[in-house]
Amino acid sequence: MDTLQRIDAFWRAANYLSVGQIYLLDNPLLKEPLAPEHIKPRLLGHWGTTPGLNFVFAHLNRVIKERDQDMIYIAGPGHGGPAAVAHAWLEGTYSEIYPGITQDEAGMRRLFRQFSFPGGVPSHVAPETPGSIHEGGELGYALAHAYGAAFDNPGLVVSCIIGDGEAETGPLAASWHSNKFLDRDGDGVVLPILHLNGYKIANPTVLSRIPEPELLKLMEGYGYRPHVVAGDDPAAMHELMARTLDEVFDEIAAYKDGRERRLPMIVLRTPKGWTGPREVDGKPVEGTWRSHQVPLARVKDDQTHRSMLEEWMRSYRPEELFDADGRPRPEITRSVPDGPRRMSANPHTNGGLLMRPLVRPDFRRYAVEVKAPAQHRSEPTRVLGAYLRDVIAANPRRFRLMGPDETASNRLQTVYEATWKEWNARLLDVDENLGPGGRVMEVLSEHLCQGWLEGYLLTGRHGLFNCYEAFIHIVDAMFNQHAKWLETAQKIQWRRPIPSLNYLLSSHVWRQDHNGFSHQDPGFLDVVMNKKATVVRVYLPPDANTLLSVVDHCLGSRDYVNVVVAGKQPVLDLFPMEQAIMHCTRGLGIVEWASNDAGQDPDVVLACAGDVPTMETLAATALLREHIPDLKVRVVNVVDLMRLLPDTEHPHGLPDAEYDALFTVDKPVIFNFHGYPWLIHRLTYRRHGHPNLHVRGYKEEGTTTTPFDMAMMNDIDRYHLVMDVIDRVPGLAVPWAHLRQRMSEDRLRARAHTREFGEDHPEIENWTWPYS
Amino acid sequence: MDTLQRIDAFWRAANYLSVGQIYLLDNPLLKEPLAPEHIKPRLLGHWGTTPGLNFVFAHLNRVIKERDQDMIYIAGPGHGGPAAVAHAWLEGTYSEIYPGITQDEAGMRRLFRQFSFPGGVPSHVAPETPGSIHEGGELGYALAHAYGAAFDNPGLVVSCIIGDGEAETGPLAASWHSNKFLDRDGDGVVLPILHLNGYKIANPTVLSRIPEPELLKLMEGYGYRPHVVAGDDPAAMHELMARTLDEVFDEIAAYKDGRERRLPMIVLRTPKGWTGPREVDGKPVEGTWRSHQVPLARVKDDQTHRSMLEEWMRSYRPEELFDADGRPRPEITRSVPDGPRRMSANPHTNGGLLMRPLVRPDFRRYAVEVKAPAQHRSEPTRVLGAYLRDVIAANPRRFRLMGPDETASNRLQTVYEATWKEWNARLLDVDENLGPGGRVMEVLSEHLCQGWLEGYLLTGRHGLFNCYEAFIHIVDAMFNQHAKWLETAQKIQWRRPIPSLNYLLSSHVWRQDHNGFSHQDPGFLDVVMNKKATVVRVYLPPDANTLLSVVDHCLGSRDYVNVVVAGKQPVLDLFPMEQAIMHCTRGLGIVEWASNDAGQDPDVVLACAGDVPTMETLAATALLREHIPDLKVRVVNVVDLMRLLPDTEHPHGLPDAEYDALFTVDKPVIFNFHGYPWLIHRLTYRRHGHPNLHVRGYKEEGTTTTPFDMAMMNDIDRYHLVMDVIDRVPGLAVPWAHLRQRMSEDRLRARAHTREFGEDHPEIENWTWPYS
């Protein structure tokens, strides 16, 4: 048997196993004629893309063996889950990982039965699937994941199958340009294989129907050298594909040597549902959208359909592929690469195996000195920049900082003392901090930042994504999918923990001085909170030192999504470093120096989370102490939002007794919150003191205006908080009506000043804590 | 003065006015030397993109006048807000709309002062800006908006400036292919102008740095005929741009005549911050990223910077542009098109002006017959399809149905009896329901569906976006921006109401039979709820007739975002049409036939929202009636989620007394919810009965399994609800311990059946209400 015949045998075997997974409960080797009881009652799966996935996989294996190539396989059309499962089973990986699914008839039966079956495995490529870092669900991210995996893996080739459906999505369309961010020396190579099978669920695809010269120009315009492999005759296609892959890998070698600027890509045109039923019930199926899911739908009840299925499966000549016990014959196993060279077992696809912990410098070294609280201001993210600079320096090939053109805007530019921005397109004299091999990835696409980082983390490296707070919503859906991946992966023993996905959200809702309403949305936290408590963490450090402590903690964690919201504008330094660490470790606590309820029950609790709300809370506290000195005020600051949840709901949740001790059970609590106020209610509605909890936050009011005007527009300002206290603490309303009135007038005065002079009153802008 | 000189004068005037807006409080005509008190204290705005926006606008005006061309202008780089404001003021539109901002020195002073100033106008193009349908905030949507505006406007040219920063985003990258969905006869034309000024905030841009042949191939690959206009010498550039625009509009005419297949586009290369300061403090500024915001930062305090500003502004020779009273000179006003031909006053950009109400057939005609409740099943979206078919037929050129390749999957395919899918690429024999002029827009990009629809609605037409529920998160950010647009536009008198943005979310979390965990996310509702009550509406009709009633209502509404969640799988028909209408009009209500508390206080309230949760609630009710017939159960179904909010929070909010009458103040309420359970708590935490409210919903458990197994995984199933009732109704726990035990065993039995047979037990799957 020659090489192409062996490839064909592997392909037929994978196709056979794919069809079996979709249809069969039993009789896996067709030892008897197919009967209704052999058929699954619910036929769930996607055949259309599967033969193409199998075809590519079979051919790549030859390259791996011949060139001893380190390669992984990203199945953009991961709906074709049966394909990836079939590959792993044929390569022996499946049985190694799931010993119950043996490489024999009994194992094949279980393999078929479990697929898309209650208690079994999902119908898509998923964390359960060995050899994958890419969920086959939401489309658009395959190529970005591929590039993320290639970064800092100079010997690796990431093959990436892109369905022509997925190619219509925005994130995928943007991902082609990732090649401008690939370093020839330090990074690996991505081999995009655009698989045009012509149809998505129910429609033709755009790229399959534009004139081929236009398609090739598009690929050249993206900066690739396209190769076309088109046809439907298996023998001819095997030859063409093999020849093309030889050329392609020669070109890759030429690129790595510096003899060639561009990387190759392949346009693969094969029929949708290739080798499946040609026609069913008088309608064409192979080569049309009707192959998308299950080409034969009534197999259990309809004898004709059942015979067609049997004929279809027998067309792969299973007797040549498997021995009488269901074991793959040597012709097949001989075409499988060895051990970790198998794409289904490549350790890059179980990144935790390869992960080396991040070297973290002692974050205390970067602390801002705080002799007395709330007397001076720092820009928290600027302070953090120095720490990140040294993280980058200490981890030369395993940490990346992602930002959609916002790293400097978010004031992290100190990192450029240790690195620069990855850039492989043309350089000009005026450029600064640009070049190949940079650790900072800047592209104006949140999708690419997120997709690259996911691919990087899933292959065992570390990173941080800094982003304007409002625009992180652009990747809500990607966050959801990554969180779901982690939720599932945590339960799979053989999947090793990977570094957490860390977000630093800055340029936040309260300080959009240049931009206004469209840039004001703190609602990502609401999206995050819907995911499982085992995965999500949210932090709102109120100053520079707490930010350092929180980020250091996040960078050391595994298998989480950490969201850190922090300001870039100057905010008051509240805590010396040792206090900051203690405060962050607790996650929330009484701000002793701002409270005057020493050891007693307070009359009111002023709680706060986020830098601007915290400053306004402190200013309100000072006003109260000045005007109503007898009022016992307790200030509670919350850094770790999950502490507000009951301990039954989240591992960080505060036990009720501790919550009650901090917030009281019966005193009014005015909570000044960074985000949409109802999020706090959602977290606390089961707490004893909840009926007395009053939350201020962003209520969707804003424009381009001054910071204090923004606070006033949303009633989170100091004056309004004092009014809230007077309104809510029993017994204050009447005696302090004049103070309430004065606060109301102070607001009007502040607004008038802003409207006249275009800036906040200096006393407000430069306010410091007066009782140090 | 020849034409090009007039264009140059308009350009200089717009540039002058743009700089004035960014910098000046006073002395608008520079009648005296610039002094600190003339300068704004906070310099907020974006100069970099502005001269390019002005250049294009000035040149397009010539084309409009010469060809009497109906044209609008979409400023993708809407950060250059001063440009759009300057255009509108020069064209007289600004003073017509805002009479306080006169076309004279006093008006110019106010124009400058109000820009990005507290109490003034935002720094970006925004709803406040005449002539715009495109907010200048989040980037990526300009070209999709442009195509949306062009659909069904055959005489219109939509010019669309695309910044090279925005061009890196995914949604923009996908939007280029919108030309495959443009009908030569029925639609207008989009003229993309890719403005390469070379830099985004702090980095060069990808498209400005790739080799020009590669860039041109990319544009040809997208299916356009590119024209390059590059340079920095104004005189030469005026000539080149004018000549190119003549060619381009000739090509557009040839396209409209059918003589040319492709449409043109322009690559415009000009320096960032063109005509601004060349060098500041020894660093190059014009032509670099340093021009992005404010090239001269210390103008108020630094005499050198202030002199440079004055020199810069005088370089536009304001004395040639404005008379002594600040009025634009005739040379300028003569280059302005007439009335509604002015791009700042084109009625397409205030779509409510052109809107004709949608003709809606009587939705009662499509009703499913319901002789007895919950005896038969229908597929709600399939029933809706017939209604939508007739909406489409009745509104030939002003309704579109958008779907990311999911319209048939969502079972709306009856619409193809009246129309087909818009498609202008190649057609094959096997294709069905495809061709030019179709009312259904199918592309595998939620971003395009959303962007097209927004552009279509903002220009006064109607539509519906059908989408898988989980993947609507892909456009969370776009939804946010559109909601913000509506929130602002509602407060602007001259902006006329436009049709609502309607979402139909189907293939929802509970019925992802083919797909599993990645397709399960009902969290879009949580995102929606963060926007203003004046704008957002959420409906969960539980059956076919309520779906008809709700969608008909939504299609008739204005200025809202309506989210409708409905199933495509068979669900029980609950309400005859007249009852359905009453129920939807109330928004929530007691399901009388399922309740047995007639006229009395119930022992427990079983509330529900969503089709699957409602069915499980009914089944639980039946079990309770069977086993504990004395227990008085009230079933409340919620269609309009906003009814749960207090009436102080939302116009649909139920007054407390009515809420209490429905849900009681002291009885246990078990609420079975379609989405994440805490959303219900967030809506109801202020209600009297809230401490007794227990919510079941999706708690992030799922995979590819049967519908009932999905319900059980998340504890929303009938058996678990009965257990909840026994646990929560005082006095039931002990006497009914055996029933609780039995329910628990029934769950295990149901699960075992599913695991064995791969499908739900027929008694569960085919359950109907037994007490009719």
pLDDT tier for residue A136 given thresholds of 50, 70 and 90: confident
Question: Same domain, yes or no, for B607 and B743?
Answer: yes
Distance CA(A689)–CA(A724), nearest Å, equals 17
Q: Supply the pLDDT for residue B515.
A: 84
Question: CB distance A474–B477 less than 8 Å?
Answer: yes
Same-domain status, A610 and A516: no
Residue B425 is predicted with a pLDDT of 86
Strands B693-696 and B561-565: unpaired
- The torsion angles phi and psi of B484, rounded to 5 degrees, stand at -65, -40
Q: Do B293 and B392 belong together in one domain? A: no
Partner-chain residue, chosen from B174, B443, B532, that has the shortest CB–CB distance to A700:
B532
- B234 by DSSP, 3-state: which? helix
Q: Give the residue-averaged pLDDT of A195-213.
A: 95
- Looking at the fold, whether A534 and A597 belong to one and the same domain comes out as no
CB distance B168–A177 less than 8 Å?
A: yes
Contact B481 A518 (CB under 8 A): yes
Q: What residue type is assigned to position A2 of the chain?
A: D
| Residue A745 parent element (H or E) | helix A737-757
B124:A430 CB<8 A? no
Measured CA to CA, the distance from residue B612 to residue B566 in angstroms comes to 10
- Is there a domain that residue B687 lies in? yes
Answer whether residue A356 is part of any domain.
no
Quote the domain boundaries for residue B307.
3-339
Smallest CA–CA distance from A444 into chain B, residue:
B168
Q: Residues B344, B346, B348, B353: what is their CA dihedral angle, to the nearest 10 degrees?
A: 110
- A213 and A152 part of one domain: yes
Alpha-carbon dihedral angle through residues A361, A496, A641, A661, given to the nearest 10 degrees: -90
Q: How many Cβ atoms are within 10 Å of B127's Cβ, its own excluded? A: 22
Nearest Cα of chain B lies from the Cα of A72 at a distance, in angstroms, of: 22
Q: Do the chains contact at A476 and B527, CB–CB below 8 Å?
A: yes
Residue B364 belongs to some domain of the structure:
no
Residue A28 in any domain: the answer is yes
| Domain final residue, candidates A294, A317, A339 | A339
The C-alpha angle A743, A745, A746, rounded to 5 degrees, equals 60
Average pLDDT over residues A355-384: 97
- Pairing verdict, β B283-284 and A604-609: unpaired
The nearest alpha carbon in chain B to A172 belongs to B170
| Inter-chain residue contact A173 with B168, CB threshold 8 Å | no
Between vectors from CA B591 to CA B585 and to CA B596, what angle results, nearest 5°?
155
Q: Which residues of A touch B124 (CB under 8 A)?
A: 515-516, 518, 704
pLDDT of residue A512: 87
d(Cα B422, Cα B406) in Å, to the nearest integer?
Answer: 14
With 0-12 / 13-18 / 19 or more C-beta atoms within 10 angstroms meaning exposed / middle / buried, residue B500 is buried
Q: Say what the ipTM of the complex is.
A: 0.97
- The whole-angstrom separation of Cα B440 and Cα B401 is 5
For chain A, helix, strand, coil in percent to 5 are 45, 15, 40
Give the residue on B whose Cα is nearest the Cα of A427. B209
Per-residue pLDDT tens over the stretch B108-135: 999 999 999 998 999 999 999 999 999 9
Q: Which of A46, A218, A690 sits opposite B221 (nearest CB)?
A: A218
φ, ψ (nearest 5 deg) of residue A211:
-55, 140
CB nearest B517 (choices: A139, A471, A488): A488
Residue in chain A nearest B141 by alpha carbon: A170
Of the candidates A218, A445, A518, the beta carbon closest to that of B137 is on A518
Distances A18 to A44, A102, A118 between C-alpha atoms, Å: 12, 16, 18
A180: closest chain B residue by CA: B206
Q: What is the CA radius of gyration of chain A?
A: 30
Q: Does B169 sit within 8 Å of A445, measured CB to CB?
A: yes
Kindly report the number of other CB atoms within 10 A of residue B666's CB atom.
10
Look at residue B152 and tell me if it is in a domain.
yes
Give the CATH number, domain containing residue B660. 3.40.50.920
Does the CA dihedral B193-B196-B202-B203 come out positive or negative?
positive
The beta-carbon neighbor of A681 closest among B176, B682, B759 is B682
Q: Which is it for the CA torsion A721, A723, A727, A729, positive or negative?
A: positive
The answer to whether residues B226 and B295 belong to one domain is yes
Q: Which of A537, A571, A605 is the last residue of a domain?
A: A571
The string of pLDDT tens digits covering residues A684-727 is 999 999 999 999 999 999 988 999 999 999 999 999 999 999 99
DSSP structural state of residue A46: -
**What gap in Å lies between CA B182 and CA B222, rounded to an integer?**
13
Whether A447 and B169 lie within 8 Å, measured CB to CB: yes
Determine, for residues A425 and B206 on separate chains, whether the beta-carbon distance falls below 8 Å: yes
CATH number at residue B416: 3.40.50.970
Same domain, A296 and A270: yes
State whether residue A763 is helix, strand or coil.
helix
Beta-carbon separation of B516 and A126 below 8 A: yes
User: Of A543, A571, A599, at which residue does a domain stop?
Assistant: A571
Report helix, strand and coil shares of chain B as percent, to nearest 5: 45, 15, 40
Closest C-alpha among A178, A184, A115, A94 to residue A142: A178
Give the DSSP letter of residue B39. B
B575: confidence class by pLDDT, cuts 50, 70, 90: very high
* pLDDT for the residue numbered B427: 92
- Partners of A755 on chain B (C-beta within 8 Å) are 118-119
pLDDT value at residue B136: 87
CB nearest A118 (choices: B122, B700, B758): B758
The token duo for B328 is 């634009």
pLDDT band at A614, cuts 50/70/90? Answer: very high
Say whether A168 and B177 touch across the interface (CB within 8 A).
yes
* A278/A406 same-domain check: no
CA-CA-CA-CA torsion sign (B103, B104, B107, B108): positive
Clarify whether residues B315 and B387 are in a common domain: no
Q: Any residues with CB less than 8 A from the CB of B5 and at least 6 apart, and which?
A: B331
Residue entry with tokens 């996911």: A454
Name which of A147, A169, A531 to mutate to probe chain B: the one with the most chain B Cβ atoms within 10 A of its Cβ.
Answer: A169
CA of B371 vs chain A CAs: smallest distance (Å): 31
pLDDT in tens, B586-642: 999 999 999 999 878 999 999 999 999 999 999 999 999 999 999 999 999 999 999
* Of the partner residues A171, A531, A755, the one whose CB lies closest to the CB of residue B700: A531
- Closest residue of A to B420, CA-based? A203
- C-alpha A51/C-alpha A15 separation (Å) is 6
List the single residue in B118, B122, B445 with the smallest CB-CB distance to A517: B122
pTM attached to this predicted model: 0.98
**Which of A123, A442, A709 is opposite residue B515, by nearest beta carbon?**
A123
Q: Is the pLDDT of residue B177 over 80?
A: yes
pLDDT of residue B704 exceeding 90, the answer is no
* Overall number of domains in chain A: 3
Residue B27 DSSP SS3:
coil
Cβ(B619)–Cβ(B718) below 8 Å: yes
Residue of A nearest to B488 (CA): A517
Do B47 and B95 lie in a common domain?
yes
Q: How many CB pairs under 8 A join A and B?
A: 358
Residue B621: count other Cβ atoms within 10 Å of its Cβ.
27
> In this structure, what are the phi and psi dihedrals at residue A611, rounded to the nearest 5 degrees?
-70, -50
Which is more confident, A316 or B45?
A316
pLDDT tens-digit profile of B128-165? Answer: 999 999 998 899 999 999 999 999 999 999 999 999 99
d(CA B707, CA B716): 11
In tens, the pLDDT along A482-529 reads 999 999 999 999 999 999 999 999 999 999 887 889 999 999 999 999
Residues B499 and B534 in one domain: yes
Q: pLDDT band at residue B69, thresholds of 50, 70 and 90?
A: very high
Task: Tell which of B474, B714, B753 to mutate to test the A interface (max A CBs under 10 Å).
Answer: B474
Say how far apart CA A652 and CA A556 lie, in whole Å.
17
Q: Which residues contact A558 (CB under 8 A, 6 or more apart)?
A: A352, A497, A498, A499, A500
Please state, in angstroms and rounded to a whole number, the distance separating the CA atoms of residues A554 and A538.
10
Enter the DSSP assignment of A115.
Answer: B
> B110: distance to nearest CA of chain A, Å?
13
**pLDDT tops 80 at residue B267:** yes
Distance from CA of A288 to the nearest CA of B (A): 7
Instruction: Say which residues have a Cβ less than 8 Å from residue B215's Cβ, sequence separation at least 6.
Output: A221, B207, B226, B267
Comparing CB atoms, the residue among A206, A220, A678 nearest residue B425 is A206
Residue of A nearest to B172 (CA): A170
Is B367 within a domain? no
Q: Domain check: are B562 and B449 in the same one?
A: yes
Other Cβ atoms within 10 Å of A247 Cβ, number: 13
Measured in angstroms, the CA of A693 and the nearest CA of chain B are apart by 11
Distant-in-sequence, close-in-space partners of B130: CB < 8 Å, separation ≥ 6? B88, B93, B94, B97, B344, B345, B349, B350, B494
Instruction: Determine whether the interchain pair A170/B168 forms a contact, defined as Cβ–Cβ distance below 8 Å.
Output: no
Which of B57, B89, B92, B91 has its CA nearest to residue B74?
B57
Residue A496 lies in a domain: yes
Contact B516 A759 (CB under 8 A): no
Taking only the tens place, the pLDDT of each residue in A44-65 is: 889 999 999 999 999 999 999 9
Which chain B residues are within 8 Å of A118, Cβ to Cβ?
705-706, 709, 751, 754-755, 758
d(CA B566, CA B546): 10
Phi and psi at residue A248, in whole multiples of 5°?
-60, -45
Pull the structure tokens for residue B493: 């008198």
* Candidate from A206, A517, A705 with C-beta closest to B118: A705
A518–B484: do the CB atoms touch at under 8 Å?
Answer: yes
Taking the C-alpha atoms of residue B438 and residue B424, their distance in angstroms, rounded to an integer, is 10
Q: Look at residue B579 and tell me if it is in a domain.
A: no
Cβ within 8 Å, pair A124-B421: no
The 10 Å CB-count burial string (b at 16+, else e) for B232-257 is eebeebbebbbebbeebbebbeebbe
pLDDT number for residue B41: 93
**CB–CB of A681 and B676 under 8 A?**
no
Of A2, A46, A30, the C-alpha closest to A163 is: A46
The answer to whether the CB of A560 falls within 8 A of the CB of A536 is yes
Got the DSSP string for A284-340? E-TTSGGGSS-S---TTT-HHHHHHHHHHHHTT-HHHHB-TTSPBPHHHHTTSPPGG
CA distance B195 to chain A (A): 15
Mean pLDDT, chain A, as a whole number? Answer: 96
Mean pLDDT of chain B: 96
Q: What is the pLDDT of residue A772?
A: 78
Whether residue B1 has pLDDT greater than 80: no
CA-CA distance, A268 to A22, in Å (whole number)? 25
